[in-house]
């Protein structure tokens, strides 16, 4: 899938000038962000669970080969099938083949980010298979031909009025504004689709190695209808979703809902093990689990292995000042916000995405709220280094860094330079107390003033105080 | 496909770069991990006396719009169900899990109530099933699938009624699964943990109920016959 991440700056300018988007993003602060704070505070063990969640994922990744084999063995023993996909193209072929074997004309789909990542949506449609998204947010953006703008709420960038317009246009019904009526209308339209589908595609939040089970989490109940009604269930998921035991899955589930939406637990958490059993009155007869690599094994054993702990809760974006201003679409690919700034260069290539690790103020809030304690700023910094090494940094920035590097390696010269600059700034700024404009810093002063410095540097003041400099 | 399997596992092994000696220790660590992760990180919140667990279950269930009514003995269930349907202006008609335990209630006491047994289809407005367990920690129901408990009953109809025995309310999700395993020895196809009716915030983050699954979730808590219900028995 083509990434438009290099246009981050232009795309975020459009986003900042879009009042509907700014309105919609404001909801995240009062909603998910505030709810997460409350939910985390309400569980005394929350911080301990975060440590445990981190340990579970680290242990799994260190033994991923063993857990993959264990998982496959269990799934096969229950009558399910495991498929391995090296990359996105292979994953698409596997899924299409499964749909063809099931003679599928229509498939229902419950939200899966891995499915977005491998570009299955366009691929199925190009091959004549009708695809219907069942998650309400995902359904809305399917109608609007947009990408998800958030991990948990794919339509988080839209206001109610925009949804009203979209339904009015596509359902050929009178325009309604009441959110309850909009939800009811989507329910009615999608209900028929569940029964018409030949294949149900879902993702998985966790795969449990010891039992060969997989877990889906929704608030709408759409995953259960998607996998429960058609004869064939295809799970598109990735290798890092594994956890060793069921108890480990529940530790992470306790973190997931609280971190994502601030709920104590999502409405529907379902742990599925194998296809329909003898005597069962419902459930799919065929179960296929597609395990996607698509670059994840390249992260294993490197600094980016820590990113494979991610459980896709979206807390990092809900708390990111850049994401909350620019929205998800500015990031130009499937994964957005801080986690996207680390993952997207891996999947779409740093040469196509180097703007993303730079789209951060490094305020550190993302790491602070990450349920599995991924050092997101550190990993973005790693990408910046790769960008510099591969000569992708713009010439002015390279030149600036070189100049700074020259002085930084010569402390005496550096101090001389800074004390001169501070002296000048202190002198010229004494009267107004601030600068409305500064040469070479127009971009910075366009939206704020620079308070005038005291006229001396910290080092000079420190020396003067008589304290010993070691 | 088998080729991709080899390639993928190979990539993982190469990235992890373990020596043969380390491989043996890795298998050991995996075995130790499974033993030590058993219920090791269960929050204290749900670990209470049975009566307090029931109270906590009700509190958390109601916080997510689950309606709860507590009755004494299975014979009280049909009247409560019928009354609930009347209150919601729903037809006296439901599809019920073919679960023998539900036959302990005398359904003929409500002659107006029309009951079919089996799984739900699109025309069913109300489904009734039996919970395997209740989880006090978050007011969650566990329904284990099986020939007597079809899963769709809890997802297709707009109204879902679940019968839960108070002595099956445990502290945690882990304990709920253990209760099922102790009785059957086997994981079912589907373990459905349900915390409140279906909901969505996908339209401007405003909470709406009944997105795909039930709009209403009604739990009938049943105390064993003869035991007096505790102080948390007040209905909505």
Domain A60-298 has CATH 3.40.50.10420: yes
B159 and B92 part of one domain: yes
Interface of A with B in 387-426 (CB under 8 A): none
| A90/A291 Cα distance (integer angstroms) | 11
Closest Cα in chain A, distance from residue B133 (Å): 14
Q: Are residues B26 and B59 in the same domain?
A: no
Put simply, whether A127 touches B (Cβ < 8 Å) is no
Residue B230 lies in a domain: no
Q: What is the pLDDT of residue A429?
A: 83
Determine contact: A270 vs chain B, CB below 8 A: yes
Are B50 and B148 in the same domain? yes
- CA of A342: how far to CAs of A33, A93, A148, A241, A358, in Å? 21, 27, 17, 18, 10
The full 3-state SS of chain A, as one line of letters, equals CCCCHHHHHHHHHHHHCCHHHHHHHHHHHHHHHHHHHHHHHCCCCHHHHHHHHHHHHHHHHHCHHHHHHHHHHHHHHCCCEEEEECCHHHHHHHHHHHHHHCCCCEEEECCCHHHHHHCHHHHHHHCCCEEEECCHHHHHHHHCCCCCCCCCCCCCCCCHHHHHHHHHHHHCCCCCCCHHHHHHHHHHHHHHHHHHCCEEEECCCEEECCCCEEEEEECCCHHHHHHHCCCEEEEEEEHHHEECCHHHHHHHHHHHHHHHCCCCCCCEEEEECCCCCCCCCCCCCEEEEEEECCCHHHHCCCHHHHHHHCCCCCHHHHCCHHHHHHCCHHHCCCCCHHHHHHHHHHHHCHHHHCCHHHCCCCCCHHHHHCCCCCCHHHHHHHHHHHHHHCCCCCHHHHHHHHHHHHHHCCHHHHHHHHHHHHHHHHHHHCCCCEECCCCCCHHHHCCCCEECCCCCCHHHHHHHCCCCCC
B23 and B119 inside one domain: no
Which distant-in-sequence residues (6+ apart) come within 8 Å of B74 by Cβ?
Answer: B104, B105, B222, B225
> How large is the average pLDDT for residues B32-39?
89
Distance from CA of A345 to the nearest CA of B (A): 19
A87-146 confidence digits (pLDDT tens):
999 999 999 999 999 999 999 999 999 999 999 999 999 999 999 999 999 999 999 999
A289 phi, psi to nearest 5 deg: -115, 120
Q: Please name every residue paired with B144 in a beta bridge, in sequence order, or none if there are none.
A: B191
Instruction: Report the pLDDT averaged over residues B12-29.
Output: 93
Query: Which residues, including other chains, have CB under 8 Å from residue A65's CB and lie 6 or more apart?
Result: B9, B12, B13, B16
Does B157 reside within a domain? yes
Could you give the C-alpha distances from A220 to A89, A449, B122, B157, in angstroms and in order? 30, 48, 17, 13
Give the A window 14-73 contacts with B, CB below 8 Å: 24, 27-28, 31-32, 43-45, 48-49, 52, 56, 59, 62-70
Closest-CA distance of chain B to residue A257, Å: 12
Do B65 and B31 belong to one domain? no
| Residues B114 and B215 placed together within one structural domain of the fold | yes
Q: What is the mean pLDDT of residues A43-47?
A: 97
Q: What ipTM, to 2 d.p.?
A: 0.94
Lowest mean pLDDT among A36-50, A248-262, A422-436: A422-436
Q: Does A247 touch chain B (CB under 8 A)?
A: yes
Adjacent-strand bridge partners of A336: none
* Mean pLDDT within B114-133: 96
- A109 touching chain B per CB within 8 A: no
> What would the pLDDT profile of A337-377 be if each residue is shown by its tens digit?
999 999 999 999 999 999 999 999 999 999 999 999 999 99
> Contact B1/A136, CB-based, under 8 Å?
no
Q: Is B200 on the interface with A (CB under 8 A)?
A: yes
Residues of A in contact with B60 (CB under 8 A): 264
- Please tell me whether residues B23 and B126 are part of one structural domain: no
For residues B65 and B11, membership in a common domain is answered with: no
CB contact under 8 A, A270 and B30: no
What is the structure's pLDDT at B231? 44
Which residues in chain A have Cβ-Cβ distances shorter than 8 Å to B8? 68, 84, 86, 239, 291, 293, 297
* B214 and B109, same domain (yes or no): yes
The pLDDT tens digits of the residues spanning A66-102 come to: 999 999 999 999 999 999 999 999 999 999 999 999 9
Per residue in A231-282, pLDDT (tens digit) is 999 999 999 999 999 999 999 999 999 999 999 999 999 999 999 999 999 9
Q: What is the CATH number of the domain that holds B84?
A: 3.40.50.10420
Domain shared by B64 and B21, yes or no: no
Question: Is the domain of B29 the same as that of B63?
Answer: no
In a domain, B228, yes or no: no
User: What are residue A202's DSSP bridge partners?
Assistant: A235
Does A222 contact B211 at a Cβ distance shorter than 8 Å? Answer: yes
CB-CB under 8 Å, A136 with B211: yes
B17 and B127 fall within a common domain: no
Which of A132, A205, A247, A307 is most worth mutating to test chain B (most B CB atoms within 10 A of its CB)? A247
Considering the domain boundaries, does residue B158 fall inside one?
yes
The answer to whether residue B236 is domain-embedded is: no
For chain A, which residues make up each domain, given as ranges? 1-42+314-393, 60-298, 396-464
Q: Is pLDDT of A452 > 50?
A: yes
If you average pLDDT over every residue of chain A, what do you get?
A: 94
In a domain, B172, yes or no: yes
Range of the domain at B124: 44-223
Residue A459's pLDDT band (cuts 50, 70, 90): confident
- In this complex, do A68 and B206 lie within 8 Å of one another by their Cβ atoms? no
Out of B30, B146, B200, the one facing A219 most closely (by C-beta) is B200
Convert the pLDDT of each residue in B179-233 to its tens digit: 999 999 999 999 999 999 999 988 888 889 999 999 999 999 999 876 654 444 4
Residues 12-41 of B with CB under 8 A from A: 12-13, 15-17, 26-27, 29-30, 33-34, 37-41
């Amino acid at each position: 899938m083509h990434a438009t991440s290099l246009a981050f700056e232009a795309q975020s300018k459009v986003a900042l000038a879009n009042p509907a988007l700014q309105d919609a993003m404001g909801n995240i602060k009062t909603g998910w962000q505030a709810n997460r704070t409350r939910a985390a505070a309400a569980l005394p063990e929350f911080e301990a669970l975060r440590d445990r969640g981190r340990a579970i994922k680290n242990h799994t990744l260190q033994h991923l080969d063993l857990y993959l084999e264990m998982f496959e063995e269990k799934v096969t023993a229950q009558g399910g099938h495991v498929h391995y996909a090296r990359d996105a193209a292979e994953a698409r072929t596997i899924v299409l083949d499964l749909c063809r074997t099931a003679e599928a004309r229509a498939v229902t789909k419950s939200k899966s980010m891995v499915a977005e990542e491998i570009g299955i949506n366009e691929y199925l449609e190009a091959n004549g298979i009708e695809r219907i998204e069942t998650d309400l947010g995902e359904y809305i953006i399917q109608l609007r031909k947009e990408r998800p703008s958030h991990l948990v709420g794919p339509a988080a960038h839209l206001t109610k009025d925009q949804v009203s317009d979209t339904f009015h246009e596509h359902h050929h019904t009178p325009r309604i504004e009441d959110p309850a009526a909009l939800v009811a209308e989507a329910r009615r339209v999608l209900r028929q689709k569940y029964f018409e589908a030949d294949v149900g595609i879902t993702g998985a939040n966790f795969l449990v190695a010891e039992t060969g089970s997989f877990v889906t989490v929704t608030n709408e109940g759409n995953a259960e209808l998607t996998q429960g009604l058609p004869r064939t269930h295809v799970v598109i998921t990735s290798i890092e979703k594994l956890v060793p035991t069921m108890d480990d899955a529940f530790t992470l589930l306790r973190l997931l809902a609280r971190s994502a939406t601030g709920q104590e637990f999502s409405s529907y958490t379902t742990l599925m093990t194998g296809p329909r059993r003898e005597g069962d009155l419902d459930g799919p007869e065929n179960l296929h689990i597609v395990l996607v690599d698509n670059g994840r094994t390249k992260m294993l054993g490197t600094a980016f292995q820590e990113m494979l702990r991610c459980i896709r809760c979206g807390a990092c974006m809900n708390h990111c000042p850049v994401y909350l201003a620019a929205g998800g679409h500015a990031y130009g690919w499937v994964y957005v916000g801080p986690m996207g700034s680390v993952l997207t260069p891996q999947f779409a290539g740093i040469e196509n995405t180097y703007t993303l690790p730079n789209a951060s103020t490094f305020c550190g809030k993302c790491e602070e709220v990450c349920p599995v304690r991924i050092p997101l700023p550190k990993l973005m910094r790693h990408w910046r280094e790769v960008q510099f090494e591969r000569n992708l940094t713009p010439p002015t920035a390279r030149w600036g860094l070189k100049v700074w590097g020259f002085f930084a390696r010569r402390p005496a010269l550096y101090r001389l330079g800074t004390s001169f600059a501070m002296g000048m700034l202190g002198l010229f700024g004494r009267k107004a107390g601030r600068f409305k404009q500064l040469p070479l810093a127009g971009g910075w002063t366009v939206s704020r003033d620079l308070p005038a410095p005291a006229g001396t540097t910290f080092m000079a003041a420190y020396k003067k105080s008589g304290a010993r400099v070691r | 496909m088998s080729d991709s399997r080899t390639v993928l596992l190979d990539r993982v092994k190469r990235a992890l770069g373990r020596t043969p000696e380390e491989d043996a220790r890795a298998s050991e660590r995996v075995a130790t991990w499974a033993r030590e992760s058993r219920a090791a990180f269960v929050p204290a919140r749900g670990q209470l006396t049975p009566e307090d667990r029931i109270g906590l279950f009700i509190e958390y269930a109601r916080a997510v719009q689950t309606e709860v009514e507590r009755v004494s003995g299975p014979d009280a269930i049909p009247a409560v169900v019928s009354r609930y349907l009347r209150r919601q202006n729903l037809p006296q008609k439901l599809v019920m899990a073919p679960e023998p335990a539900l036959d302990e209630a005398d359904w003929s006491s409500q002659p107006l109530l029309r009951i079919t047994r089996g799984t739900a289809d699109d025309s069913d407005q109300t489904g009734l099933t039996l919970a395997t367990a209740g989880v006090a920690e978050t007011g969650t129901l566990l329904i284990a699938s099986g020939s007597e408990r079809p899963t769709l009953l809890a997802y297709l109809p707009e109204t879902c009624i679940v019968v839960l025995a108070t002595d099956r309310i445990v502290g945690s999700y882990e304990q709920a699964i253990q209760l099922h395993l102790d009785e059957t020895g086997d994981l079912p196809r589907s373990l459905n943990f349900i915390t409140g009716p279906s909901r969505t915030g996908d339209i401007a983050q405003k909470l709406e109920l009944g997105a795909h699954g039930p709009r209403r979730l009604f739990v009938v808590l049943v105390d064993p016959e003869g035991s007096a219900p505790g102080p948390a028995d007040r209905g909505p």
